[in-house]
Homo-oligomer: A and B are copies of this chain.
């Protein structure tokens, strides 16, 4: 019987385990959020929701690379904030720890969405400042520390619940973005969103995704996400949620050692199935037991000051 304590506290909220469902995966409908929660996720982040219904890009919206990478350009499809409360209600009725993700074009829109999302009763907000393939949204705002500061400030003024800023990896100095968010009052940072990427079909001589550019996720970006969390941990004091390529207990621990207090799983749900949440929670406890670690939280950031054997 594994005994290690997987509970984790982020921005004053305690989660039963550190394995959250990442935004954009199973998060468009309330039943799926509920399903991920019942499958064992420690928290569930909604699909990023905007002001109006958005169809997203036409298909093809995804491409896969064996089991080590996935490329997507969904185009932020979402039913819009006014339709969405009914979905959150379903997830909340099941007891799920729901984090509401939102995206917008400027600070005002973010603030407006934040109020509406907070009103649905979500525990916290995640601001998508990092979608790599939506014009005028996502990382076009999130790459500029000043705009990050503005958006986060506006949202903080609008809501009482904790605010998580989700950071793009497509930047020379990701920690500067996290610092901007922190200085504006963000309660936590999540990193990373997908890495800008492209696939071309050689026979058809055209990009595979309807949108052309997309975002890379899955194991291929784990080392990239780790580097971002590592750099952010060195420069901010608020908690970090690690995202990118996580699918094993060791992946989770790597992120925690780099500085994360919780992690999000995206592509692993596609490659390994929703059973990954319960499987990974068990595997994680066992691994911690074998490493003689009683509480996952003991390891947060520990790789920054390694103990060298005599």
Contacts and interface: CB of A to CB of B under 8 A. Distances in A.
A110 B71 CA distance: 37
Nearest to A229: B198
A227 B66 CA distance: 19
A200 B213 CA distance: 30
B69 A205 contact: no
A82 interface: no
B200 A254 contact: yes
Contact of A197 (B168, B227, B306): B227
A72 to B, nearest CB: 11
Interface in A39-77: 65-66, 68-69, 71
B71 A223 contact: yes
A13 interface: no
Contacts of A250: 202
A310 to B, nearest CB: 14
Interface string A180-204: 0000000000000001111110111
The number of times this chain is found in the oligomer is 2
A97 interface: no
Contact of A213 (B227, B287, B307): B227
A171 interface: yes
Contact of A226 (B172, B198, B254): B198
Contacts of A195: 195, 224
Contacts of A199: 223, 226, 254
Contacts of A205: 257, 299, 302-303, 306-307
B303 A200 contact: yes
Given A65-B219, A196-B224, A205-B303, 6 more contacts: A68-B68, A143-B172, A170-B170, A202-B254, A202-B257, A219-B220
Interface of A: 65-66, 68-69, 71, 139, 143, 168, 170-173, 195-200, 202-207, 212-214, 216, 219-221, 223-224, 226-227, 230-231, 250, 253-254, 257-258, 287, 291, 299, 302-303, 306-307
